[in-house]
Structure 1
Amino acid sequence: MWLAGALLSFQVASHFANEVIDNSLLQLADSLARQVHVEDDKVVARYPEATHLLLDAPQDDQLLYAISGPDGQKILGNFSFPTSPEPRQTPGSEPAYRNLMQLPSPVRMVSVYYPLDKTGQGQTRWIHVEAARSLASRNHLSRQIMLTIALPLGGLLVVMSFLVWLGINRGLRPLNGLQRLVEKRTPQDQAPFELSHAPQELHALAKALTQLLSTTHESVARQRRFIADAAHQLRTPLAGLKSQTELAMRETEPEQLRARLHMVHTSATRSIHLVNQLLTLARSEPGTQSGMPRVKVDLARLIRDLTAESVPRALAAGMDLGCDTALTEAVIEGNSALLRELFVNLVENAIKYIPRGGNITVRLTEDDTRYVVEVEDSGSGIPDDDKPRVFERFYRREQTGNGCGLGMAIVKEIAERHGGSVTLLDAKPHGLIVHVELPKEQRRLPA
């Protein structure tokens, strides 16, 4: 801005100095031209003696002039101006200004044609007046104008620079304080950042940082909890698998060895099921959806297909499995793999935990804003006190079967990731209804 201010001052000063000098030269040329007359068909210039003395007097800013008649001959003057290299000026054209730098003292000159009289053929005769003065006067005037402009402008720039420096320092002071708070913050500290006398924008930044740290802490806590749960749950089946393998290696009787290998196979199957459930739970947790594909999923078709696939297992367990829906299409936007896992867990849990001869019905309905999927069974149901605990990880009401206590936790996580909910209701006259609601409108899966 200092450089721009200096350049602006120089340009303004040069412009006005040129205007002043050019106007004075044009006025001088006009005055000289008015003194030229025609007497006895001769062009003469009559000046008072005082004017001659004034024009020709030696001075620092001496005036140079020359007057030429219609025939191009010099009538009067104290200097012979060189011919201009530019295209020749014609009579009647506008005054021409130029700088003569090849002289010992550079000058600024004007060249003007003035009408003198008309000839018998109606043609106009012209006189040519040239006047000049030293560029030193123009430069002196430029410096005076530039100083007049530059001094207040320079003072203004100094004051402005100081105010900018002061404002930036005051504005960045709270940001520096926030930087120190962040540097001193320990990973375990989740207290909000406290900033006093800070602008509103910085309070918003501090709030965003606090939310980010809280979200990061929750994500790390979830990962630690998952690792701890997985290690705890895998330790027992793997230890059992190792023990069964060691006992099988000691057996010499084929029948005993076959029985041990059957137990090893059962333990390995349970371990594989547990690992698969843990991986599904990890995929359905918050923070893992950004990389999961989201597509349009037809719930009606998905439920009909899953029910048909589960019929053989239901028949083998002595149960009646059916699908009840009047909807031909129920499209939502979500993750197809996770939604499939949700309903597979519900159907398999019903097959696994109700007695033989029971009935299972998968039902799909809708209202204005949501789709409702219900899996109803005719088992013994779940007491109201235990219903909230069913959704806890690794909670099992019964120790029979090969379950690991993750099925309903997975169902709850997946439903919530799709903006829905899951609740447990009592069936009439007895049994359990797992009630899942999923919104119709397309919404982004929570991060």
Structure 2
Amino acid sequence: MGPSSRFSLKRQLLLWLLLPQIVLWLAGALFSYRLAGRYANEAVDATLLQATRSLARQVKPMGNGLLIDFPRAAQDVLEADPSDKLLYTVSSPPGQFILGNRNLPSPPAKPASPPLGEAQFYDGELDGADGDGQPASPVRVAALYLQFGENPKAQQTMLVQVARSSANRELLARRLLIDTMLPLSVLIVLMSMIVWAGVGAGLAPIARLRRLVEGRKPNDLRPIELDAAPQELRSLAQAINDLLDAVRHNVQGQRRFISDAAHQLRTPLAGLKSQSELALAEAPPGPLTMRLARVQESAARSAHLVNQLLALARTEPESVTRQTPVRLDLGRLAREVTAELVPRALQQQVDLGYDGPDCGDRDDDGADQATASESVEVTGIALLLREALVNLVDNAMRYAGRGSSVTVQVRRAGAEVELIVSDNGPGVPEALREQVFERFFRGTHEGNGCGLGLAIVKEIVERHGGRIALSDAEPRGLRVTLSVPAA
């Protein structure tokens, strides 16, 4: 199993879109931290430079010496904040302590001719605050070289240093980083949500195409309509439609052959059946009569098979789309079909009856007394629904046997209309109730059926958006229920 099979397309897109954002966010955080540190250094350096120049102004040359005008109040101001006090040192020449803190780190380089009047900034460590044995702490130091003395040829160099702890500088850098990265993080989260939604919306046509394909029945070969899809997905849909079109042409050829063959066989089989019946009626009793009876039975069975194949061809999607569904009264249709089949039922000694809305009494104007709430109207194709009912009643009379009773019922059940055909025959075992809807499957070897009746009924019911179910009749027998959406 390759990597492409372990990850979905959505996950891969999110990974390639969100991972660069995370990398850029980390790079932005590092850059912002460095930038914040630089700005913090600039702010601290400006403060140190001001303090250094102010301290240098308090040291005044006098003759060959120095006058230090540094009152105690000014010193208290510099050391007022114990957590962020300024440390200072004045030395002359560099290295000889005059005033301040002896532990300030020296400049990193001591040039032979140091730049005068130009401050230098550097980081160092203070080895114990005021020599009290505390651990070394990082500091930021500003150093300023000045000259003093009345004789220009014998001037001396003075070094003024002012230092501040780096802790506050780090705190300032962190605050700048937080203030910068917090809105950026919110923007990253919002962008990630937008990317997530955008990827979902971009992949929605694929999910819609999947539902269109998954929701289809095996015999539904209509082309897929996906005009609003992107060009890449439209190409995929077109490829699927080309495949469906090729399969449809192949299936149509097979169905056309079955329909043509059934039509061609219908007339000679009807003639064979008629001639065998006449020969059977005129032949004297004997072995020839038995052979003619078998011929007549085979001809009747073949004629029935041809009729069923023709009915099956009429239920196929291509045939259905050429017929327009209309609003019809299923109760009236069932009553008419039942009346038409009564002669056949009498011939087979079967008690055939109907129980439905059209059996009620009529008023003086001849209108049914059924109320609007009892309406059993459906939207469908009358020819197909008639074919389904004829197959159900024919199956019931054929397999229930002589002396049985068959009842056709029509009733309203919520948003559906139920057409029920029940008999008191042997019924169908529960283990076979799913298989009997398969084509050419017969649950019993009795009778001369061909195994297409219930398959045709199921096809017709599904074409009308309904369903079919088998259950036990009371006290015995089989109950077939067709449920079709009401009009």
**In which range does the TM-score fall when normalised by the shorter chain?**
0.3 to 0.5
Kindly indicate which of the two structures has a greater share of residues assigned to helix: 2
TM normalised by structure 2 equals 0.42
